[in-house]
Amino acid sequence: MITTIQTGGVCAPLGFSAGGVHCGLAKQPDKKDLALIVSEVPCAAAAIYTRNKVKASPLAVTKAHLADGTARAVICNSGNANACSADGEAVARGMCRAAAQALGISPRDVAVGSTGVIGQPLPLEKVAAAAPALKAALEDGWGGSDAAARAIMTTDLSKKELAISFVLGGKTCRLGGIAKGSGMIHPNMGTMLAFLTTDAAVSAPMLQKALRDVTEDTFNMVSVDGDTSTNDMCVVLANGLAGNPIVDAEGPALEDFTGALRAVCTHLAREMARDGEGATKLLTCTVEGAPDTRTARVLSKSVICSNLFKAAMFGADANWGRVLCALGYADADFDISRTGVCFASAAGSVEVCKDGAGVPFSEEQAKRVLGEKEIDIRVSLCQGGGSATAWGCDLTYDYVKINGDYRS
Amino acid sequence: MITTIQTGGVCAPLGFSAGGVHCGLAKQPDKKDLALIVSEVPCAAAAIYTRNKVKASPLAVTKAHLADGTARAVICNSGNANACSADGEAVARGMCRAAAQALGISPRDVAVGSTGVIGQPLPLEKVAAAAPALKAALEDGWGGSDAAARAIMTTDLSKKELAISFVLGGKTCRLGGIAKGSGMIHPNMGTMLAFLTTDAAVSAPMLQKALRDVTEDTFNMVSVDGDTSTNDMCVVLANGLAGNPIVDAEGPALEDFTGALRAVCTHLAREMARDGEGATKLLTCTVEGAPDTRTARVLSKSVICSNLFKAAMFGADANWGRVLCALGYADADFDISRTGVCFASAAGSVEVCKDGAGVPFSEEQAKRVLGEKEIDIRVSLCQGGGSATAWGCDLTYDYVKINGDYRS
Check residue A406 and give its pLDDT.
58
Check residue B116 and give its pLDDT.
85
pLDDT band at A183 (very low <50, low <70, confident <90, very high): low
| Length of chain A, in residues | 408
Residues from chain A that touch B322, judged by Cβ atoms under 8 A, are 118, 184, 227
> CB count, 10 Å around CB of B68?
11
Q: Which residues contact A360 (CB under 8 A, 6 or more apart)?
A: none
pLDDT band at A66 (very low <50, low <70, confident <90, very high): very high
| Of B215, B222, B373, B374, nearest in space to B301 by CA | B222
CB contact under 8 A, A118 and B325: yes
Check residue A12 and give its pLDDT.
92
A290: which DSSP letter?
E
A144-156 confidence digits (pLDDT tens): 999 999 999 887 8
The radius of gyration of chain A from alpha carbons, rounded to an integer in Å, stands at 21
Q: Which of B50, B154, B191, B266 is catalytic?
A: B191
Check residue A179 and give its pLDDT.
85
Check residue A40 and give its pLDDT.
93
Q: Are strands A3-5 and A160-168 parallel, antiparallel or unpaired?
A: antiparallel
Domain with CATH 3.10.20.340 in chain A: 282-404
- Domain topology for B282-404: Ubiquitin-like (UB roll) (3.10.20)
Residues from chain B that touch A307, judged by Cβ atoms under 8 A, are 225-227, 307, 399, 403
Residues from chain B that touch A325, judged by Cβ atoms under 8 A, are 52, 54, 118, 184, 227-230
Check residue B189 and give its pLDDT.
39
Query: What residues of A act catalytically?
Result: 191
Smallest Cα distance from B125 to chain A, Å: 20
- Rounded Cα gap, residues B203 and B167, in angstroms: 17
Q: A51: nearest CA in chain B?
A: B329
Q: Find the CB nearest A357 among B86, B228, B329.
A: B86
- Rounded Cα gap, residues A210 and A263, in angstroms: 12
Q: Chain centroid to CA B192: how far?
A: 5
Residue A54 contacts B where some CB pair is shorter than 8 Å: yes
Give the mean model confidence (pLDDT) for residues A165-178: 90
Smallest Cα distance from B42 to chain A, Å: 35
CB contact under 8 A, B307 and A403: yes
Strands (E), A84-180: 110-115, 160-168, 171-179
- Rounded Cα gap, residues A376 and A348, in angstroms: 10
What residues does B48 pair with on adjacent strands? B234
Q: Find the CB nearest A405 among B184, B308, B315.
A: B315
User: Is there a contact between A229 and A185 (Cβ–Cβ < 8 Å)?
Assistant: yes
CB contact under 8 A, B329 and A396: no
Residue B128 contacts A where some CB pair is shorter than 8 Å: no
DSSP B232-251: -EEEEEE--TT-PPPB-SSS
Domain with CATH 3.60.70.12 in chain A: 3-274
Smallest Cα distance from B235 to chain A, Å: 21
User: Is there a contact between A197 and A364 (Cβ–Cβ < 8 Å)?
Assistant: no
> B3-274, which class in CATH?
alpha beta
Smallest Cα distance from A113 to chain B, Å: 17
Q: Are strands A34-49 and A233-238 parallel, antiparallel or unpaired?
A: antiparallel
CB contact under 8 A, A321 and B401: no
* Residues of chain B under the 50 pLDDT cut: 189-191, 408
Residue B54 contacts A where some CB pair is shorter than 8 Å: yes
Residue B205 contacts A where some CB pair is shorter than 8 Å: no
CB contact under 8 A, B84 and A321: yes
> CB count, 10 Å around CB of A245?
11
pLDDT band at A407 (very low <50, low <70, confident <90, very high): low
Q: Find the CB nearest B184 among A325, A399, A408.
A: A325
The continuous run of DSSP H or E covering A399 comes out as helix A397-404
| Of B249, B196, B60, B67, nearest in space to A337 by CA | B60
Residue A189 has pLDDT above 50, yes or no: no
Percentage of residues in chain A with pLDDT exceeding 90?
A: 55
How many Cα atoms within 13 Å fall on the side-chain side of residue A164?
Answer: 21
Residues from chain B that touch A276, judged by Cβ atoms under 8 A, are none
Q: What sign does the dihedral B258-B143-B273-B72 (CA atoms) show?
A: negative
